[in-house]
Amino acid sequence: MNDFKFSIKHTDENTKARVSEFETPHGKINMPVYMPVGTLATVKTLSPEELEEIDAEIILANTYHLYLRPGHKTVKKMGGLHKWMNWQRPVLTDSGGFQVFSLAQKKGHNKTEKKTLVKIKEDGVEFHSHLDGSRHFFTPEKVMQIQSDLGADIIMTFDECAPSNASRQYIKEAMERTHRWAVQCKKEHEKIQAKREIKQALFPIIQGGIHKDLRVKSAKFMADLDLPGIAIGGLSVGETKENMYKILDAIREHLPENKPRYLMGVGSPDDLLEAISHGIDMFDCVMATRNARHGSFWTKDGRFHVKNSEYKEDPNPLMKSCSCYTCKNFSKSYVRHLFMEQEMFGLRLLTIHNVYFLIDLMRKIRTHIQKGTFLSFKENFLERFKN
């Protein structure tokens, strides 16, 4: 695919960490990369200009949510996500598979409703909207058509993300179904791409729960599809960190070397460092913005809560060595005051800091990989950081 070129710039001698670049129609992505999550085509409270100032190289939007409202046809009519959002850098959309299963089973339009709201069939999934209870049906082909209309640079195959507590047999069946759907997605994607002027890169999603043999089987299957990248799903759905790292160990040698590797839904600083040392290139997570909404922020020493009384008269920034807009201009005392008074500006300031913290961490990681000091940087960071 000529519109997408992946190149490895440097590989760490002591780990599997690597610095790479992925060229897309809307610009180059330096990896490892953290992608801020803009579920509803906006990273909560931040403008595109602020995201550029933070140097976000790519953001993620959600297929399921945008399909329901305002509808993918509306987004297409408005010129696609890039024009609609006024964001000219790369965009990734997920397939909506995780939300179809997780949101629809958690709640219906009637909060007292307890019945399962998802029906899985061989050709797709019938589900009810978590917004109004309306019924919908996603097939692999439809998910490709929706993501084509949204117009993201990187799109995902439709998958079934089985719950972490599901039986091995069910996880196996869900994985095999995900494999069949990935093949269908690839076929439909190729038909759509033949008609598109601006191309999209399709990534398949490895599944298999915490079962090493299933994960290896899925990794091999998805790698054989020979798509521009590969993603690992279902490793941020309730399993332990130890199990996640074990799965990354098990599948590492089966992931393509010459393509970007995307670990979905993972974004705590310690997990990022560990996964990068396993050779992962791309990450997304709502943690940065969600933590901000709840008044918490990261520093090199861990996660803290801005409402703590000790910050009432603290003249220092959230983190002394941080160069984000928040830390360069405001004190903990002021940000705490904004939160105590429920002022929106406080939420914005914490969001700026948290997103910047992860993007800056990635920038430092890339530098240390290139200098050959990544392992010592990782060890020193984790020794100090208490999540």
Give yes or no for a contact between 272 and 360, defined as CB atoms under 8 angstroms apart.
no
- As to burial, measured by CB atoms within 10 angstroms (0-12 exposed, 13-18 middle, 19+ buried), residue 101 is buried
Give yes or no for a contact between 80 and 111, defined as CB atoms under 8 angstroms apart.
no
What is the distance in angstroms between the CA of the first residue and the CA of the last residue of the chain? Answer: 40
Closest by CA position to 365, among listed 263, 271, 248, 253: 271
Give yes or no for a contact between 150 and 75, defined as CB atoms under 8 angstroms apart.
yes
Catalytic residue among 12, 55, 94, 281: 94
94 part of the active site: yes
- Answer left, alpha or beta for residue 260, where phi above 0 means left and psi between -120 and 50 means alpha: beta
Strand, helix or coil for residue 200: coil
Catalytic residue among 249, 281, 284, 314: 284
Q: Which two tokens stand for residue 363?
A: 């920038």
153 part of the active site: no
Q: Which amino acid is at 174?
A: A
Q: Which two tokens stand for residue 119?
A: 């029906």
Residue with tokens 């520093």, as numbered in its chain: 299
In sign, the C-alpha dihedral spanning 374, 375, 377, 378 is positive
Distance separating alpha carbons of residues 324 and 292, to the nearest angstrom: 15
Residue with tokens 């790698």, as numbered in its chain: 223
Give yes or no for a contact between 182 and 160, defined as CB atoms under 8 angstroms apart.
no
Strand, helix or coil for residue 50: helix
Active-site positions?
94, 284
